[in-house]
Amino acid sequence: MALYSEKVMDHFRNPRNVGSIENADGVGEAGNGKCGDIMKIYLKIDHAVVTDVKFETFGCGSAIASSSMATELIKGKPVSEVLKLTNKAVTEALDGLPAHKVHCSVLEEEAVKAAIKNYYDSHGMVYDC
């Protein structure tokens, strides 16, 4: 059996939504202290819906594939739903990651939550997630 699913390879080779957003409504960053990989995510939010999302990931292939899949999962979704995104959901959407690479998908969950917190903070809303 191949180590990586076809979906992981596809999102690694052709990552969706790469880049940054000028005047983003929420920006979040997360880093993995062990490997030093970093993910930054930019959200455009309109009427509590994520209308656009871009990411920059300086990391391994699994982190890039997870980031790409996460952006696909949250684009067009209400903020309340985006807050429920877990690295498990992202990993499942990728048809799995090798056990020793699952930690790479945690980056994107943390970065997305940090971006929403940044959005809440800048709008004077209470973030209690």
Residue ranges in contact with ligand FES by CB under 6 A: 32, 35, 37, 59-60, 62-63, 104, 107
Task: For ligand FES, give the closer residue by CB, 79 or 107.
Answer: 107
**Complete edge-to-edge strand list for the sheet that includes strand 38-46:** 26-31, 38-46, 49-58
* Minimum distance of ligand FES from residue 106's CB (angstroms): 8
CA angle 72, 78, 81 (to 5 degrees): 80
* 104 labelled catalytic: yes
Task: For ligand FES, give the closer residue by CB, 8 or 107.
Answer: 107
Q: Are 43 and 77 in contact (CB under 8 A)?
A: no
Task: For ligand FES, give the closer residue by CB, 79 or 114.
Answer: 114
